[in-house]
Amino acid sequence: MIKVDISNVWGQISLPELLALEKEVFAAHNTLTEGNGPGNDFLGWLDLPVESPTEEMKRIQLAAEKIRANSDVFVVIGIGGSYLGPRAAIELLQGCNHNIGKGKGNPQIFYAGNGLSTRYWNELLRLLEGKDFSIAIISKSGTTTEPAIATRALRAMLEKKYGVVGAKDRIFAITDPCKGALRQMATEEGWETFVIPPSVGGRYSVLTAVGLLPMAVAGIDINAVMSGAFDAKQLYNLRSFENPVWQYAAVRNLLYRRGKCIEILESFEPGFKMMGGWWQQLFGESEGKDGKGIFPVTAEFTADLHSLGQMIQQGERNIFETMVRFDPPADRAVVSADWKDLDGLNYLAGKTLDFVDEQAFRGTLAAHVDGGVPVITMDMGQLNDTKLGELFYFFELSCGISAYMLGVNPFNQPGVEFYKRNMFQLLGKPGYEK
């Protein structure tokens, strides 16, 4: 179980205030699990974790084996939750530089359709030169602008390289089971498809084929991921403040009511950066509506202590932090001795790097608390495939409960459509004329 430490928020809020929220948290948790709140047609993610592999998961593993065998590169086409979840999983477990040295048998994984930058597109084309590649198109509709543009181009490249028939074996569609342009396209073209359940929104879809296929292609054990999520589903159904999900959801809402309107999610692991991006979308789209919401920000320590550290330490006191920690890996690095000691580091000679990292964490925590910033800490324990599944489910459940406590629908995102309308009007899309 993830350990949540709230001892460094006292003074900003009190224990009696937290305990007074018990009925409110209980009600929010019940609203979520009983499906009687707003957005209750998008609760399918609650039951995604399973104890044994489903037929869909077995097909995902077979497809992943085929992709790993015939492709140097696997391109994931999607935007928002359609790419943040899988990328977060792969980089957390395998690091930011996981693509270096990879090829057929263990493909490099790149992403497309998550923006409109020509420079990014040209870079991707250079990376694909002379490579065998396959693609996964992830979209419920198939008409979202960014992924649709990337799909057109990459499909054409595949058909030019392998022929129309050969390309079919390298295109995988992850979409709605029955409707939408991508479903129609996949059916007409004969592409292999996997399902995004209609009751699962994009930002809650990481435990569907959306996340599982890219994870499996990366060599992650998706059965272990799902096992971790299944265990989390049982563990975090506890209805008391012994539940770390309750602690996290309740404390962040109490801090918000005390004027702490910005949450910074931090880790001392560079590979956590995209997990922070996934968390940012999860909470940002779920809570940011009706003039309410805690603004989610993510930071990488110790690197960002040399940029954001000053603001956190002495800036406006409208922030709180959530620090995420993992156990050190089995392979430890040791600081060496140097006979000249010009850098003055010999006092650390023989110490492990994770020991230095731990002291940096403790020193940062103490400094920020002394500076008036409440800090929640999360001890994740050992980082592995099983823990990844638990982590995803922990944050999803926390988000649903927290948003209901906030009094908003956790599962819609009406504001996202505004920029699209303006863009379509400027682009001259039919039906969007002034």
For the chain, how many residues are written? Answer: 434
* Residue among 306, 316, 433, 434 flagged as catalytic: 306
Contacts within 8 Å (CB) and 24+ apart, 182-190? 182/137, 182/139, 182/140, 182/141, 182/142, 183/142, 184/142, 185/142
The two structure tokens encoding residue 241? 């403040």
Q: In a 10 Å sphere around its CB, with 0-12 CB exposed, 13-18 middle and 19+ buried, how is residue 35 labelled?
A: middle
Bridge partners of residue 135, in order along the sequence: 75, 171
Residue 285 among the catalytic residues: yes
* Residue among 3, 58, 179, 420 flagged as catalytic: 420
Of 323, 301, 268, 278, give the one whose Cα is nearest residue 90.
278
Helix (H, G, I), strand (E, B) or coil at 279: helix
Peptide bond into 377 cis (omega under 30): no
* Residue among 269, 285, 390, 396 flagged as catalytic: 285
Of 189, 90, 111, 181, give the one whose Cα is nearest residue 139.
181
Please answer whether residues 213 and 60 qualify as being in contact, where contact means their C-beta atoms are separated by less than 8 angstroms: yes
Of 385, 363, 387, 366, give the one whose Cα is nearest residue 375.
366
Bridge partners of residue 325, in order along the sequence: 379
> Catalytic amino acids?
285, 306, 420
